[in-house]
Amino acid sequence: MRHWRLQSLDLRGRSDTLRRLDARGALLLGCRLLPDDEEHLRRQGALLFPRVPHVPVDPYRAALYSPTDLYRDLEQGYDATLDARAYAWSRASDDIADHLAQSLHDHAIDDALAEYVRGRRIVGVMGGHAVERDSAGYAEAARLGRDLARSGLTVATGGGPGAMEAANLGAYLGGPEDGALDEALTMLADAPSYRAATTAWARAAFAVRERWSGTESLGVPTWFYGHEPPNAMATHVAKYFKNAIREDVLLHLCDAGIVFLPGSAGTVQEVFQDACENYYAPDADVAPMVLVGVDHWTRELPAWPLLEALAADRTMAARVHLVDDVSDVVGLLGPG
């Protein structure tokens, strides 16, 4: 078993096999073992990280979340879901063991995310969480997500509500006929905001998922902003406890570029965090940045003039763009 890495497996029915193997050099992370097997492995020289009791998440999980994972027990109301319970636990936790469990969890998500993105071209879509489902901005973000998915890219968002959900929705419906998106927007408009009723808001999204099979996309939310529930339109969810890690990971993995829809403080932060990465990156690693909304980015929150000045005379100058129409975005992201 030298160099074996076993993660979050139930090995309680594998006693005979475990006793026949040489366990020296093996690493077992949060595996379920019978007490005698655990003692045998330790004596042989295996390194065992034990399961962490009394926490709502698996700190050693081997895969990204699905919306179904996070919203299990939604029929009893949002507060009964894993997502809500994990947020409540993280807010109440002041014990070092709980903090360690959160760090182990985020490391496991890092590992699962690295496996997911391998071989994919990832495009990020950033935007405001307050955009409601019955608004023109939401429909525009959804059309953008659909265009990006149809171009062969994997859409990644911050995984929350608003423009993030819209982009994941559009990506999800990138395969079906054009009319599917309009029908889905009508279905979702009956529960326009999570603020009024999170349970109804989430159930509407699952109704869309039941109506159509969809294209894969990624959401990268955080329990740091746990008052904003994750959207159910991202098929794969890398949810973190530490927001600083989540922000850095989300921006770094978008090798095909990032699209910034109108947003407020969080989106502005992401614009300049991404700009900083591009500013210092080797020329070959500079990824496109596309800001959508001329008035928003030049007058309401004038990030564009500063971004343009920062990019001047550098490789990134040719890869930062300001447009008014989401239909112009795909052509600015460059070839795969």
Instruction: Supply the pLDDT for residue 317.
Output: 96
Calpha distance 210→53 (Å, rounded): 35
Domains and CATH numbers, the chain: 1-51 (no CATH), 121-332 (3.40.50.450)
- Percent of the chain whose predicted confidence (pLDDT) is above 70: 99
Q: Which two tokens stand for residue 200?
A: 């109804």
DSSP tally for the chain: helices H, then strands E: 13, 10
Tokens matching residue 54: 């009394």
Query: DSSP class of residue 124?
Result: E
pLDDT at 336 over 60: no
What predicted TM-score, i.e. pTM, was given to this entire model? Answer: 0.93
User: What integer is the mean pLDDT of 188-202?
Assistant: 96
**CA neighbor of 189 nearest in space, from 165, 153, 212:** 165
Kindly report, residue by residue over 122-151, the tens digit of the pLDDT.
999 999 999 999 999 999 999 999 999 999
The candidate with the shortest Cα–Cα distance to 62, out of 90, 96, 31, 34, is: 31
